[in-house]
Homo-oligomer: A and B are copies of this chain.
Amino acid sequence: MPTINDVAKAAGVSKSTVSNVFSQKRPISEEVKEKVLEIAKELNYRPNYLARSLAIKQTKIIGLNMIGEKVKFNPFHLSFINGVLQQCYLNDYRLLINTLSNDYKEQVMNISSDPTDGEIILNPSIKDSRIEEFMEYQIPMVIIGRPPKQYEEILPSVDNDNFPAAQKATDYLLALGHRHILFCNAPKVRTVSIDREQGYQFALKQFGLGGHYQHIEYRDETRTSIEYGSYIAHNVLSQNKEISAIITDNDKVALGVYRACKELGRSIPEDLSIIAFSDGSMYSDELQPSLTTMTLNGVTLGIEAMNLLLERLENTDCIKRVTVKIELHERQSCAPMDKLQK
């Protein structure tokens, strides 16, 4: 690969002239510019990304980390990434996806920095080593979801409006006459579970329903969502006959419930109303009956995240907090309580 030197020599000009032809940082006479570009094309020259980044201390790359070997992107991640990429495109950034080893934090050595200008933190956990680390190294970042408590005031973040959404879902079922509503929450370790739980509880409270109307389960990540949904239907629902409605963490859990209900001869929505937080895993329309959802907007989340990070890169003390609406999408999986078969 030819370097800036080769071009300079061949064109009979200095390195800095060539440099400036490409960076356009200072005026170059037309004739010189043309000459340089011509030679560059002839030689197949292109500025070296690394060398340039090293010199200007900027990479125009945004990092997205996922931990562990078994973690895979799901459809929600997909739409999120699409949102991020859209903004990357508009702002001439690239996206670097890095899969971190689980124990990487312990490898003090042999670990280098990432070649990124900033990072997007997906799925933050309550005590997240990535965040701690990026803080230490003063790497600009934005958190997706609720940041751990100690960082709430000092880091920008973008989150779904989980509290109001859970409240809304609960209200919706309450309005249909349901009282004992099972809330299948996200795994307890995930910060999102806290907000949703509070939204659910708030709705009950506001409606004047006390503690024994409260039914909360947490998804454990040892089984798949579908298995978990099936488990819930088979165990929790059959143990507690009062429960007439259910809110699930995601649409696959709902699918598990659907399947189990079929096995149990319990029909939706006549015998059970169900509403799911949808991460886009399923075509809700295609379930029978079609699934009423609280639809997460991954694309918008991605767009907002990237925008926030860009702001942060310009202005170190930008600690905005952006919220993206989760919308209720009414379909056919919920029915009024009084239709319930006795």
Residues on A lying within 8 angstroms of B by beta carbon are: 1, 21-24, 37, 40-41, 44, 46-54, 59, 61, 66, 69, 72-75, 77-78, 81-82, 85-86, 88-90, 94-99, 101, 108-115, 136-138, 255, 282-283, 286-288
Contact = CB atoms under 8 A, between A and B. Distances in A.
Given A46-B137, A95-B97, A283-B255, A37 B88 contact: no
A296 to B, nearest CB: 16
Contact of A73 (B81, B89, B138): B81
Contact of A94 (B47, B52, B97): B97
Nearest to A54: B50
B287 A53 contact: no
A133 to B, nearest CB: 10
A54 B49 CA distance: 9
A267 to B, nearest CB: 15
Given A24-B110, A94-B98, 15 more contacts: A46-B113, A48-B54, A49-B113, A50-B54, A50-B59, A53-B115, A61-B115, A73-B81, A73-B85, A75-B78, A88-B97, A89-B99, A94-B99, A97-B97, A282-B286
B109 A97 contact: no
Nearest to A101: B89
B69 A78 contact: no
B48 A51 contact: no
A256 to B, nearest CB: 12
Nearest to A139: B1
B282 A61 contact: no
A41 B108 contact: yes
Contacts of A48: 54, 112-113
Interface centre among A23, A75, A78 (most CB of B within 10 A): A78
A52 B112 contact: yes
Given A1-B137, A46-B113, A49-B113, A37 B108 contact: yes
B115 A115 contact: yes
A286 B255 contact: yes
A70 B328 CA distance: 27
B99 A96 contact: no
19 contacts: A1-B113, A24-B110, A37-B108, A46-B113, A46-B137, A47-B112, A49-B112, A49-B113, A50-B53, A50-B59, A51-B54, A52-B112, A61-B96, A77-B78, A85-B97, A94-B98, A95-B96, A96-B96, A283-B286
A283 B78 CA distance: 16
A44 B113 CA distance: 11
A337 to B, nearest CB: 27
A111 to B, nearest CB: 7
A311 to B, nearest CB: 20
A50 to B, nearest CB: 4
A15 B138 CA distance: 24
